[in-house]
Structure 1
Amino acid sequence: MTFDHLPWHRPTSYDDLPCVRDDRLDLTYRAFGERVEAVAEQLAARGVTAGSVVAVMLPNRVELLVAIMAAWRLGAAATPINPTFTATEAGHQIGDSGAVVVVTTDPAAVHGGATVLGVDDLATTPAGTLPPATTAPNDLALLVYTSGSTGRPKGVMLDHANIEAMIASMGEAIAVTGDDHCLLVLPLFHVNAICVSWLTPMSVGGQLSVLQRFHPVEFLQAIERLRPTYFSAVPTIYSHLVALPEEVRADVSSVRFAVCGAAPAPPELFAAVEKRFGFPLVEGYGLSEGTCASTCNPVDGVRKPGTVGPALPGQIVAIMAPDGTMAPTGERGEVVIKGGNVMRGYLNRPEATAETLGDGWLHTGDVGILDADGYLRIVDRIKDMIIRGGENIYPKEIENVLHGDPSVLEAAVVGGADPVYGEVVVAFVSPQPGGGIDVDALLARCREELTKVKVPVAVHVLDVLPKNPVGKIDKPALRARLAGE
């Protein structure tokens, strides 16, 4: 393993090349490495050592990347936190991960027992006090939090070998070179943005431009101004781009391809993007547990609409029947994955780890079909997950908040169709016997405890929630009720 994406392993030929920029900073590889070293010294002074965890709760900006690398410089892991999280949500991740330091924009905020380091206080010039870095493949690198069936987010443990495998796999698939320049618009608390947009081009001396937020017109202007060669985004972003008035034009000729992932997208969207902007749009598929991506339609090659492409190099994607055997071509079953990109496991969750990895395969919880050419089509979801504009939302977490209201007897959350976001959160609740439910108060509770995207767009009060024959709440019936409205 070369670990060329790490500043202390990079080839000296990269030193003066442009590395990363946002709307405030523009750094060469040498300058980026110096900032990493300087912040690593600060973290070390605050008790971060090999095996520690550093929480990074920042919006998209260069310092977020510096902080992650600084943790790695010390042999520590980083856990990126959604900067829009409520104190409850952030507190769970900080506490569960055991983070020693939190790097954030709000140093006055209380973040559990961790030391807070304000982003404006990050050092830029190293003093040269640290010993040489030692980075081992099995060192924990990232704790990426994803919700599960229990409704409490759990930490996906990704080591440096996982990340190196992902970089190699994706880099080969998209034929990345030092001439590539990625425009990053996805949030950097997602492993997609970290691996595909940042570390993959960095491993070969390419460039990264970081946008803090997405606005359709501003995004096209950024392409025209910065001249990136590729970017990765979710279907909602592409929907906004193709919906722009025809008179909105920009020179996007520098873009050799774009990637679409994180949520299903209709084939018509891909055709519309390619027709309007002229570059190929390739669809990929993967999980945080697989360090991001496991399949992708080829940039140069046959792209099959309605599929998420074949397995990426170095990975095996198969379809498993309920009895544990491999399903033949053309038959549906659970999508399972093998490869060096597959996570170490869930932090402090041995049962969940065994359930997901116990037989040597990563069980995705998605139902798919492989065709004769090895192209994967996702046809259903086993997991009860809502995907809102590429953001994975797990109903149980929201249901736990709803159940916290003493007026609520039962609660169920499902995804409702939405023309912009694909799915949005819709809640169904029933009251305690003889009581009633104040919907406004219930929504206020949700806003206090949940990120905005998780707050239901509607709360339907029913006398009794429908049940299936074994007595569980019948969510398919609730989805059908929404579809019939």
Structure 2
Amino acid sequence: MHIAVLPQDRVRAAPTGPCIADETRALDNAAFADAVAGAAAALHAAGTGRGDVVAVVLPNRVELVVTLFAAWRLGAAVTPVNPALTVDEAGHQIADSGAGVVMGERAASPLVTLDVAELAGDPAAAPEPVTDDDALALLIYTSGTTGRPKGVMLDHRNVRAMCEMIIAGIGLDDTDHSLLVLPLFHVNGIVVSVLSPLLAGGRTTIAGRFRAETFLDVVARVRPTYFSAVPAIYAMLAALPADAVADTSSLRLVICGAAPMPAELIARFEGRFDVPLVEGYGLSEGTCASTLNPPGGPRRPGTVGLPLPGQTVALMGPDGTLVDDGPGEVVISGPNVMRGYLNLPEATAETIRDGWLHTGDVGRFDDDGYLVLVDRIKDMIIRGGENLYPKEIENALYTHPAVHEAAVVGAADPVLGEVPVAHVALLPGAVASPEELVEHCAGRLARIKIPTRITIVDALPKNSVGKIDKPTLRRAAVPTG
């Protein structure tokens, strides 16, 4: 089934069944299908058709999901734009994508050409759905840590293959209820929290802006069966005061992606909330996920799980040959691999070589085939000719009972080239000195891996997805002397 016809298929199966909701609006299957058809009519009247691109500048809300399906019905692609971007940043994405229509709130952005209030067109005027698997579905822009963000081209074949893998991987069916936490301008939120449950016959509730102090109340009220989040969110929830309790019994699992999660943080979260945390790994260029710790077990904290069926995940040496156990660069092949970067053939050729998507991550496989991420190639610190991986040092810091979050980056050194420095946020009410943390590391790491400086901070900087913002920390890493 093509995703463009999903609204009509859900109506045929259960017209009054719940479909999508947010804090102000709830649509059953029939209402959702009507909303999609009406939005498709409005977009069509605005000149959108097959092969066009629609930009959406909205925070997470029902209308954003409606616009996705409306554009797909017309054979158009969608590029979701982070509403927190500056006019210049958003303007680059809109211009680069070639979007002919920019949907959002005119009062919030001067770039908007179609106000969200104008989406309510006549459902009867909507053209019949376009069902071309090769048509572009999404243009997801990378975070742009090196230069301007790049547009990742994902076609309907990519998206459908990924959804099928997610549905099988976490066992979704019509009883599942996803709580959307992550932003819809990234592919994880779209695929894992919206498309996959809807394709499986389940439903989605959009949680709105995440606030740790109120989130448990949302879970108790909405009663989802799962949600997908990033390590920073789980760290905040695990650090809530002991009297912050709520009914989480509806959750059969939660999912962590976007960045590796320390085993100690997984244990802290699971011990407090008694909910299995399933860690996965992937990237936008692979349409979201490539490995997953199997919910049915065995789960291996400290790994990112097994390759999802339908994909090949391998390790490659610097000479371009595959290696058995690693470490090596993680490379991926399968129907989920992107079509390429929009208008960037050289960058595409550099990232996809001989059918392999090069991730830039260093990993190894354990004896049972579970992938262990060592670090990002670009994050590796070369100290006096020795390769150091920040993730290993961070994992050592996380074993200290006072540590809430930790990030290690390289700082320039006139003798050694680079040395590791650490930035650490402590748990609320916890006390630890930099000297104590250095001593803690000394019992777990070789001398050359021990941070030369540890800075205690109130909070670590985060990017728009909730990942720790290492580029900002690198810029702040002054030479050590």
Mapping 1:405-420, distance limit 5 Å = 417-419=423-425
1:227 aligns with 2:223: yes
How far off is 1:256 after superposition? 0.2
Contact 2:145/2:471, CA 8 A, preserved across alignment: no
Secondary structure of 1:47's counterpart equals coil
- Give the corresponding residue for 2:70: 70
For 1:269 and 1:200, locate their aligned partners in 2 and report how far apart those are by CA, in whole Å: 27
The amino acid that maps onto 1:263 is A
1:361 aligns with 2:348: no
The amino acid that maps onto 1:243 is A
Post-superposition CA distance 1:280-313 (Å, at most 9, x none): 0011110000001111111111111110001112
Closer, same or farther: CA 166–5 of 1 in aligned 2, 3 Å: farther
How far off is 1:77 after superposition? 0.2
Post-superposition CA distance 1:235-263 (Å, at most 9, x none): 11111111111111101000000001111
Closer, same or farther: CA 223–147 of 1 in aligned 2, 3 Å: closer
Closer, same or farther: CA 2–69 of 1 in aligned 2, 3 Å: closer
For 2:122 and 2:323, locate their aligned partners in 1 and report how far apart those are by CA, in whole Å: 56
- Count of residue correspondences: 413
Contact 1:166/1:195, CA 8 A, preserved across alignment: yes
How far off is 1:314 after superposition? 1.0
How far off is 1:85 after superposition? 0.3
The amino acid that maps onto 1:131 is P
Match of 2:303 among 304, 307, 319: 307
Closer, same or farther: CA 193–415 of 1 in aligned 2, 3 Å: farther
1:138 aligns with 2:144: no
- Give the corresponding residue for 1:14: 14
For 2:96 and 2:300, locate their aligned partners in 1 and report how far apart those are by CA, in whole Å: 41
Mapping 1:434-445, distance limit 5 Å = none
How far off is 1:109 after superposition? 3.6
Closer, same or farther: CA 314–177 of 1 in aligned 2, 3 Å: same
Secondary structure of 2:307's counterpart equals coil
For 1:227 and 1:336, locate their aligned partners in 2 and report how far apart those are by CA, in whole Å: 38
Identify which range, 374-383 or 274-283, moves more after superposition: 374-383
Closer, same or farther: CA 327–457 of 1 in aligned 2, 3 Å: closer
* CA RMSD across the alignment: 3.1
For 2:471 and 2:123, locate their aligned partners in 1 and report how far apart those are by CA, in whole Å: 55
Contact 2:11/2:30, CA 8 A, preserved across alignment: no
How far off is 1:105 after superposition? 2.0
Contact 1:85/1:451, CA 8 A, preserved across alignment: no
Contact 2:41/2:126, CA 8 A, preserved across alignment: yes
Secondary structure of 1:199's counterpart equals helix
Match of 1:179 among 175, 178, 197: 175
1:121 aligns with 2:127: no
- Which structure has the higher relative contact order (CA within 8 Å, separation 6+)? 1
For 1:202 and 1:278, locate their aligned partners in 2 and report how far apart those are by CA, in whole Å: 26
User: How many percent identity over aligned positions?
Assistant: 54
For 1:22 and 1:456, locate their aligned partners in 2 and report how far apart those are by CA, in whole Å: 29
- Unaligned 5+ segments in structure 1 are 391-413, 422-449, 461-474
For 2:464 and 2:176, locate their aligned partners in 1 and report how far apart those are by CA, in whole Å: 35
- Give the corresponding residue for 2:452: none
- Give the corresponding residue for 2:329: 334
How far off is 1:95 after superposition? 0.3
Secondary structure of 1:16's counterpart equals coil
For 1:171 and 1:459, locate their aligned partners in 2 and report how far apart those are by CA, in whole Å: 36
Contact 1:416/1:479, CA 8 A, preserved across alignment: no
For 2:375 and 2:467, locate their aligned partners in 1 and report how far apart those are by CA, in whole Å: 22
For 1:459 and 1:371, locate their aligned partners in 2 and report how far apart those are by CA, in whole Å: 33
Mapping 1:332-481, distance limit 5 Å = 332-383=327-378, 417-419=423-425
Contact 2:105/2:116, CA 8 A, preserved across alignment: yes
How far off is 1:7 after superposition? 1.4
The amino acid that maps onto 1:20 is I
The amino acid that maps onto 2:35 is R
- Give the corresponding residue for 1:426: none
For 1:49 and 1:420, locate their aligned partners in 2 and report how far apart those are by CA, in whole Å: 52
How far off is 1:269 after superposition? 0.7
- Unaligned 5+ segments in structure 2 are 381-389, 392-403, 406-419, 428-462
- Give the corresponding residue for 1:260: 256
How far off is 1:15 after superposition? 2.1
For 1:325 and 1:165, locate their aligned partners in 2 and report how far apart those are by CA, in whole Å: 27
For 1:452 and 1:265, locate their aligned partners in 2 and report how far apart those are by CA, in whole Å: 15
Contact 1:19/1:27, CA 8 A, preserved across alignment: yes
Contact 2:35/2:123, CA 8 A, preserved across alignment: no
Closer, same or farther: CA 358–119 of 1 in aligned 2, 3 Å: same
How far off is 1:122 after superposition? 2.4
Closer, same or farther: CA 416–279 of 1 in aligned 2, 3 Å: same
How far off is 1:479 after superposition? 8.2
Contact 1:170/1:200, CA 8 A, preserved across alignment: yes
Mapping 1:246-325, distance limit 5 Å = 246-325=242-321
For 1:415 and 1:453, locate their aligned partners in 2 and report how far apart those are by CA, in whole Å: 21
Closer, same or farther: CA 12–308 of 1 in aligned 2, 3 Å: same
The amino acid that maps onto 1:95 is A
Contact 1:231/1:258, CA 8 A, preserved across alignment: yes
How far off is 1:459 after superposition? 9.0
Post-superposition CA distance 1:46-74 (Å, at most 9, x none): 11110000001100100110111111110
Contact 1:415/1:479, CA 8 A, preserved across alignment: no
For 2:317 and 2:147, locate their aligned partners in 1 and report how far apart those are by CA, in whole Å: 27
1:95 aligns with 2:101: no
Match of 1:208 among 204, 208, 224: 204
Identify which range, 1-10 or 142-151, moves more after superposition: 1-10
For 2:242 and 2:367, locate their aligned partners in 1 and report how far apart those are by CA, in whole Å: 40
Contact 2:153/2:342, CA 8 A, preserved across alignment: yes
Contact 1:56/1:104, CA 8 A, preserved across alignment: yes
For 1:371 and 1:302, locate their aligned partners in 2 and report how far apart those are by CA, in whole Å: 13
For 2:115 and 2:421, locate their aligned partners in 1 and report how far apart those are by CA, in whole Å: 37
Secondary structure of 2:333's counterpart equals strand
How far off is 1:142 after superposition? 0.1
How far off is 1:33 after superposition? 1.1
Secondary structure of 1:373's counterpart equals coil
Closer, same or farther: CA 231–415 of 1 in aligned 2, 3 Å: farther
Secondary structure of 1:419's counterpart equals strand
